[in-house]
C-alpha cells in the first residue's frame, strides 16, 4: 500500500465520520473569526437558539475594516469614521461578548490581520485543522496544518458543531528544486507557480509545497506561498513540519510548553508526506529559473518576469483567453508589446496577509534605506500585519527608514489589499502591491493592481517604475 | 433554506472566464451585517457606470447599457450561463447571497472555484457543471433566441433546452439531498453529536495542547 501524503494524514486524524455518500465529517480544532464574514453566522446561532460547541476553539480579531491612520485609530472603535464599518466592528465586539469568545480588540497590541495573528500567537499550530471565513486561511498550512477558507454558513456550522461536512480533495505536490537567486522571494516563487498552473490549476486539490527551495525558506516565506494557494484555485496549501517550523512555534503565547511541548513535538515530527506517497499531480519548477515577478492583468495568472513584454491578444489562439487578455489590457490601460519596466505605479502598498510580516518589512526597508520615493509616486503605504509586527519593526528602526524615504507608516489591518477602509486606489491609478489579488476594482473602483514582492514594491517606489530589484541590490 | 427541485426560467449570460467574487459583489457591500438585500449590487462595477456605495439608491444610478443583465431580453432571468472557474477568489458568501437576492437559482458553467461552489448549495442555488462544448452551445442558442428558457431538473439531473434536448449533469448525493429537501445541515450534523463527542474525547487525550488554551 502506498504511503500517505501530509494532507492524507491531516484528513485521517480529523475524520469523525465517513459517510456512504462520499462526504465526511471533519473535526475543526481552530476557528479564526473576523468582522466581515461572521455577523450573519452569530445571528444564525441566535435565531436557532444555539451556543458554540467549544468556545476555546475560537479566536476573533477585527482586521478588514479597521482604519490604519494613526489618528483615526487612536480613538478605538467609536472613532471609526465610516459608520457602516464602525457598526461591523462593534457587532463583532458584541457577538464575542455575548458568546464568550476571546477577541483581540482593535487597539490590543496582539490585534492584526487574522492570518498574521494566528501563527504569531501560536493560536494556529502544526497538525491542526484551521478554518476562517476568509479564503486566505490557506496561510496557516505553512505550519503543517490543514487550513482553508469557508463561507459564512460554514462559519456558523463550525461554531455550532465543531465540524464541517467535507469531500476529500486530491493531492498535488508543487516541488521547487534548487535555490532562489538573491532578490527573488517566496512571493516570486508562488506567482511563478500560479503563472505555470493557472488560477484554476489547483481547483479540487490540496497543494503541498516542497523541494529544496521550500525547505530552505523561512516560515514567513512559507506562509506567503501557502497564502496564495487559493490564487491557484487550491483551498488549502501546506508545508511539511521541520526544524524551521518547530523553531518558529516554540515559545509562542498559545504554544505548548515543557512536557506538553515534548509530546507535541513527537506528534508533529510525523507531519510530512511519506517517501512512497502518491500525488495525483506533481508540478516541478527550478528555483534558479525564477525571476522577480510582476502581474500585468486582472487575474494572478497574468504574470510575467520583470524583464517581460506584455502579451499580444492577436497571437493567442484560444478565444476565451484572447478575450481575457484584450479585456485585461483595456482595464489596465496597457498596450500589448509594452514592457513591464515601462509601467509607472501611482501608489505603493506594502502590507496584507501575504506580505506584512517582519521579514517582508525588512526586505522593503533594505531597498529604500537611504533613498527617496520617486516624485511621481502619490503615496507609499507600509502597513504592518499586526501590532506585534509593528512593535518589532519599530524596535529595529524600520519605520524611520520608511518615513525618511517619504513613505507612510500605518497601524495594522488589511488596508489597501481590499480597500474596505479608507485606504484605496483612485480610478485608473496603478499600484505596486504586495497583496494577493489583482482583480478589477479590488483595491478601489477602477484601480489597477500589480502584484509584486515587498522588495520589488520598494524598488518601484524608488525608481518610479517597475525595475529588477536585483540590479539595485548589487 | 429554499428547496430546489425543478426550475424553468430565462437564461442570461456572464460571458467571461474567471469571474471572481469581487466582481460578483464588490467589497464595500460586505460591510452589511445582514444576509439579504445584496441583489441590487450584484455585478455592481459592470452593471452601473458610477461607483456604488452601501445605502446608495440603485434605482437612479446610471446603468451600463452594454451589460447583459440591463437588457430587456434578460429581465427576470433565473439561470446564469457562465464560463470556466466562475466564483474564484474570496470566500465571501455574499456572492451567492447577491445572486440569489437578484433572482438566480441556478448557474451553468464548465467549472467553478471550490469555495464558491460549496457556498451555493448552502443558499438554495444549484451550480450545474456541463462540458465546455455544451455550455458553448447553450450560449449560442441563447444569443440567437430572445426569451431563451431552460429547464433545470435536479431529481432527474438534467438541463433541457427549448428544443427538448437534454444534458445530464453530476451532483454529489449528499448536496443533492439537502438541496431537494431544503435542509439545514447544522441540524443534520448535530444528529452525529455522540460521534463528535467520542472523537473529541480521543483527540483531547491524544493532543491535549489543542484544548483549553484560548480562554
User: Which CATH number does the domain housing residue B17 bear?
Assistant: 3.20.19.10
Dihedral, CA of residue A286, residue A287, residue A293 and residue A295, to nearest 10: 50
Mention every residue, 6+ apart, whose C-beta is less than 8 A from residue B166. B158, B159, B160
Chain B partners of A418 at a C-beta cutoff of 8 Å?
22, 27, 90
Is B34 exposed, middle or buried (CB count within 10 Å of its CB: 0-12, 13-18, 19+)? exposed
Chain B partners of A65 at a C-beta cutoff of 8 Å?
31
Cell of A180: 532562489
Chain B partners of A157 at a C-beta cutoff of 8 Å?
185-186, 189
Do residues A176 and A207 lie in contact, with contact meaning Cβ atoms separated by under 8 Å?
Answer: no
**Secondary structure E strands in A34-156:** 58-60, 129-132, 146-149
* Residue B60 covered by a domain: yes
β-strand A30-33 against A15-18: which pairing, if any?
Answer: unpaired
Chain A partners of B200 at a C-beta cutoff of 8 Å?
27, 54, 162
Give the total residue count for chain B: 215
pLDDT value at residue B1: 84
CA pair distance A443, A445, nearest whole angstrom: 7
* Residue B187 covered by a domain: no
Do residues A436 and A299 lie in contact, with contact meaning Cβ atoms separated by under 8 Å?
Answer: no
End-to-end CA distance of chain A: 51
* Residue A474 CB neighbours (<10 A): 6
Q: In tens digits, what is the pLDDT along chain A, a chain of 474 residues?
A: 689 999 999 999 999 999 988 899 999 999 999 999 999 999 999 999 999 999 999 999 999 999 999 999 999 999 999 999 999 999 999 999 999 999 999 999 999 999 999 999 999 999 999 999 999 999 999 999 999 999 999 999 999 999 999 999 999 999 999 999 999 999 999 999 999 999 999 999 999 999 999 999 999 999 999 999 999 999 999 999 999 999 999 999 999 999 999 999 999 999 999 999 999 999 999 999 999 999 999 999 999 999 999 999 999 999 889 999 999 999 999 999 999 999 999 999 999 999 999 999 999 999 999 999 999 999 999 999 999 999 999 999 999 999 999 999 999 999 999 999 999 999 999 999 999 999 999 999 999 999 999 999 999 999 999 999 999 876
Is A374 exposed, middle or buried (CB count within 10 Å of its CB: 0-12, 13-18, 19+)? middle
Closest chain B residue to A230 measured between Cα atoms?
B89
CA pair distance A410, B37, nearest whole angstrom: 34
Is the ipTM above a cut-off of 0.90?
A: yes
β-strand B6-14 against B149-153: which pairing, if any?
Answer: antiparallel
Handedness of CA B89, B95, B99, B105 (dihedral sign): positive
φ, ψ of residue A67 to 5 degrees: the values are -70, 145
A-B C-beta contacts closer than 8 Å: 204
β-strand B158-160 against B149-153: which pairing, if any?
Answer: antiparallel
Contact across the interface for B92 and A37, Cβ inside 8 Å: yes
According to DSSP, the residues that pair with B86 across neighbouring strands are B112
* Residue B139 covered by a domain: yes
What digits encode the pLDDT tens for the residues B153-194?
999 999 999 999 999 999 999 999 999 999 988 999 999 999
Cell of B120: 451555493
A336 to chain B, closest Cα gap in Å? 20
End-to-end CA distance of chain B: 34
Average pLDDT of span B195-211: 98
* Residue B75 covered by a domain: yes
Residue B215 has pLDDT above 90, yes or no: no
Q: In what order do the strands lie in the sheet with A281-286?
A: A236-238, A205-210, A170-177, A281-286
CA pair distance A21, A31, nearest whole angstrom: 26
CA pair distance A151, A242, nearest whole angstrom: 31
Cell of B71: 437588457
CA pair distance A468, A453, nearest whole angstrom: 11
Contact across the interface for B93 and A37, Cβ inside 8 Å: yes
Q: In what order do the strands lie in the sheet with A146-149?
A: A58-60, A30-33, A129-132, A146-149
Closest chain B residue to A436 measured between Cα atoms?
B89
* Residue B87 covered by a domain: yes
* Residue B190 covered by a domain: no
Is the Cβ of B93 closer than 8 Å to some Cβ of chain A?
yes
CA pair distance B207, A264, nearest whole angstrom: 7
CA pair distance A464, A127, nearest whole angstrom: 44
Nearest to A200 among B85, B122, B173 (CB): B85
Dihedral, CA of residue A257, residue A260, residue A262 and residue A267, to nearest 10: -120
Closest chain B residue to A86 measured between Cα atoms?
B31
Complete DSSP assignment for chain B: ----SEEEEEEEEE--SS-BHHHHS-GGGGG-SSSS--GGGTTHHHHBSS---TT--GGGSPB-TTSGGGSGGGTT--EEEE-TTBTBS---THHHHHHHHHT--EEEES-B-HHHHHHHHTTT-EEEE--HHHHHHHHHHHHHSTT-EEEEETTTTEEE-TT--EEE----HHHHHHHHHT--HHHHHHTTHHHHHHHHHHHHHH-GGGSS---
Chain B partners of A441 at a C-beta cutoff of 8 Å?
22-23, 26, 45
CA pair distance B133, A399, nearest whole angstrom: 55
Is the Cβ of B195 closer than 8 Å to some Cβ of chain A?
yes
Exposure letters A254-269 (e unless 16+ CB within 10 A, then b): bbbeeeebeebeeebe
Chain A partners of B45 at a C-beta cutoff of 8 Å?
440-441, 445
CA pair distance A192, A452, nearest whole angstrom: 11
* Residue B167 covered by a domain: yes
Nearest to A212 by CA among A266, A122, A290: A290
Assign residue A444 a region (left: φ > 0; alpha: ψ between -120 and 50; beta: otherwise): left
CA pair distance A86, B31, nearest whole angstrom: 9
Question: What total of structural domains would you count in chain B?
Answer: 1
Q: What is the DSSP letter of A303?
A: E
B20 to chain A, closest Cα gap in Å? 7
Is the Cβ of B47 closer than 8 Å to some Cβ of chain A?
no
What value does the CA radius of gyration of chain A take, rounded to a whole number of Å? 21
Nearest to A192 by CA among A211, A164, A205: A211
Chain B partners of A267 at a C-beta cutoff of 8 Å?
206-207
Q: Which domain holds residue B19?
A: 6-182
* Residue B118 covered by a domain: yes
Cell of A204: 479540487
Average pLDDT of span B69-94: 98
Mention every residue, 6+ apart, whose C-beta is less than 8 A from residue A318. none
Is the Cβ of B37 closer than 8 Å to some Cβ of chain A?
no
Q: Which residue has the cell 518601484?
A: A460
φ, ψ of residue B148 to 5 degrees: the values are -60, 120
Is the Cβ of B209 closer than 8 Å to some Cβ of chain A?
yes
CA pair distance A344, B70, nearest whole angstrom: 35
Residue A222's alpha-carbon distances to A237, A456, B53, in angstroms, are: 10, 18, 37
Mention every residue, 6+ apart, whose C-beta is less than 8 A from residue A173. A5, A207, A208, A210, A273, A279, A281, A282, A283
Chain A partners of B66 at a C-beta cutoff of 8 Å?
none
Average pLDDT of span B22-28: 97
Do residues A138 and A119 lie in contact, with contact meaning Cβ atoms separated by under 8 Å?
Answer: no
Exposure letters A70-87 (e unless 16+ CB within 10 A, then b): eebbeeebeebebebbbb
Substitution target in A63, A151, A241, A251 with the highest count of B β-carbons within 10 Å is: A151
Amino acid at each position: 500500500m502506498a504511503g500517505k501524503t501530509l494532507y492524507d494524514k491531516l484528513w485521517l486524524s480529523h475524520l469523525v465520520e465517513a459517510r456512504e455518500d462520499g462526504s465526511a465529517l471533519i473535526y475543526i480544532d481552530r476557528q479564526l473569526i473576523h468582522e466581515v464574514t461572521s455577523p450573519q453566522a452569530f445571528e444564525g446561532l441566535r435565531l436557532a437558539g444555539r451556543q458554540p460547541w467549544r468556545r476555546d476553539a475560537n479566536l476573533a480579531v477585527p482586521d478588514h475594516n479597521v482604519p490604519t491612520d494613526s489618528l483615526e485609530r487612536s480613538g478605538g472603535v467609536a472613532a471609526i469614521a465610516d459608520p457602516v464599518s464602525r457598526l461591523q466592528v462593534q457587532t463583532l465586539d458584541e457577538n464575542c461578548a455575548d458568546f464568550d469568545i476571546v477577541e483581540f480588540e482593535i487597539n490590543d497590541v496582539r490585534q492584526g490581520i487574522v492570518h498574521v495573528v494566528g501563527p504569531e500567537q501560536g493560536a494556529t499550530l502544526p497538525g491542526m485543522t484551521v478554518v476562517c471565513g476568509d479564503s486566505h486561511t490557506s496561510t496557516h498550512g505553512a505550519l503543517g496544518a490543514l487550513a482553508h477558507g469557508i463561507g459564512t454558513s460554514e462559519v456558523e456550522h463550525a461554531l455550532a458543531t465543531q465540524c464541517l461536512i467535507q469531500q476529500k480533495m486530491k493531492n498535488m505536490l508543487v516541488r521547487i528544486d534548487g535555490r532562489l537567486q538573491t532578490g527573488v522571494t517566496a512571493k516570486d516563487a508562488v506567482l511563478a507557480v500560479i503563472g505555470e498552473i493557472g488560477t484554476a490549476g489547483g481547483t479540487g486539490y490540496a497543494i503541498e509545497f516542497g523541494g529544496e527551495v521550500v525547505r530552505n525558506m523561512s516560515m514567513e516565506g512559507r506562509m506567503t506561498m501557502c497564502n496564495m494557494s487559493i490564487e491557484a484555485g487550491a483551498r488549502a496549501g501546506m508545508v511539511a513540519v521541520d526544524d524551521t517550523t518547530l523553531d518558529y512555534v516554540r515559545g509562542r503565547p498559545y504554544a505548548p510548553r515543557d512536557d506538553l511541548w515534548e509530546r507535541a513535538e513527537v506528534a508533529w515530527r510525523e507531519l510530512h508526506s511519506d517517501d512512497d506517497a502518491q500525488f495525483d499531480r506533481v508540478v516541478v519548477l527550478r528555483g534558479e529559473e525564477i525571476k522577480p515577478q510582476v502581474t500585468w492583468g486582472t487575474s494572478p495568472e497574468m504574470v510575467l518576469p520583470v524583464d517581460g513584454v506584455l502579451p499580444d491578444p492577436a497571437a493567442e489562439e484560444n478565444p476565451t483567453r484572447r478575450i481575457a487578455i484584450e479585456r485585461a489590457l483595456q482595464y489596465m490601460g496597457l498596450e500589448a508589446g509594452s514592457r513591464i519596466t515601462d509601467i509607472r505605479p501611482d501608489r505603493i502598498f506594502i502590507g496584507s496577509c501575504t506580505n506584512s510580516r517582519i521579514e517582508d518589512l525588512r526586505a522593503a526597508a533594505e531597498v529604500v534605506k537611504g533613498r527617496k520615493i520617486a516624485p511621481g509616486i502619490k503615496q507609499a503605504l507600509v502597513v504592518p500585519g499586526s501590532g506585534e509586527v509593528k512593535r518589532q519593526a519599530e524596535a529595529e528602526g524600520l519605520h524611520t527608514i520608511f518615513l525618511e524615504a517619504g513613505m507612510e507608516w500605518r497601524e495594522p489591518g488589511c488596508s489597501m489589499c481590499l480597500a474596505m477602509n479608507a485606504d484605496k486606489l483612485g480610478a485608473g491609478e496603478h499600484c505596486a502591491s504586495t497583496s494577493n489579488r489583482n482583480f478589477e476594482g479590488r483595491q478601489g473602483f477602477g484601480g489597477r493592481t500589480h502584484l509584486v514582492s515587498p522588495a520589488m514594491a520598494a524598488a518601484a517606489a524608488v525608481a518610479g517604475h517597475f525595475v529588477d530589484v536585483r540590479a539595485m541590490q548589487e | 433554506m429554499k428547496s430546489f427541485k425543478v426550475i424553468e426560467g430565462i437564461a442570461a449570460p456572464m460571458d467571461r472566464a474567471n469571474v471572481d467574487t469581487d466582481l460578483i459583489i464588490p467589497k464595500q457591500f460586505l460591510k452589511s451585517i445582514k444576509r439579504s438585500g445584496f441583489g441590487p449590487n450584484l455585478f455592481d462595477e459592470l452593471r452601473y457606470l458610477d461607483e456604488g456605495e452601501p445605502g446608495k439608491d440603485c434605482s437612479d444610478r446610471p446603468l451600463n447599457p452594454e451589460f447583459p443583465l440591463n437588457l430587456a431580453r434578460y429581465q427576470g432571468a433565473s439561470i446564469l450561463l457562465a464560463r470556466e472557474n466562475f466564483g474564484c477568489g474570496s470566500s465571501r458568501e455574499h456572492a451567492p447571497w447577491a445572486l440569489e437576492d437578484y433572482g438566480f437559482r441556478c448557474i451553468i458553467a464548465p467549472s467553478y472555484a471550490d469555495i464558491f461552489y460549496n457556498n451555493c448549495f448552502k443558499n438554495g442555488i444549484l451550480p450545474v457543471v456541463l462540458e465546455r462544448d455544451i455550455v458553448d452551445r447553450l450560449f449560442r442558442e441563447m444569443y440567437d433566441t430572445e426569451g431563451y428558457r431552460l429547464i433545470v431538473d435536479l431529481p432527474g439531473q438534467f438541463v433541457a433546452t427549448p428544443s427538448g434536448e437534454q444534458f445530464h449533469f453530476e451532483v454529489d448525493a449528499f448536496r443533492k439531498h439537502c438541496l431537494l429537501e431544503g435542509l439545514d445541515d447544522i441540524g443534520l450534523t448535530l444528529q452525529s453529536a455522540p460521534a463528535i463527542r467520542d472523537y473529541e474525547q480521543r483527540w483531547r487525550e491524544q493532543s491535549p495542547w489543542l484544548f483549553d488554551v484560548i480562554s
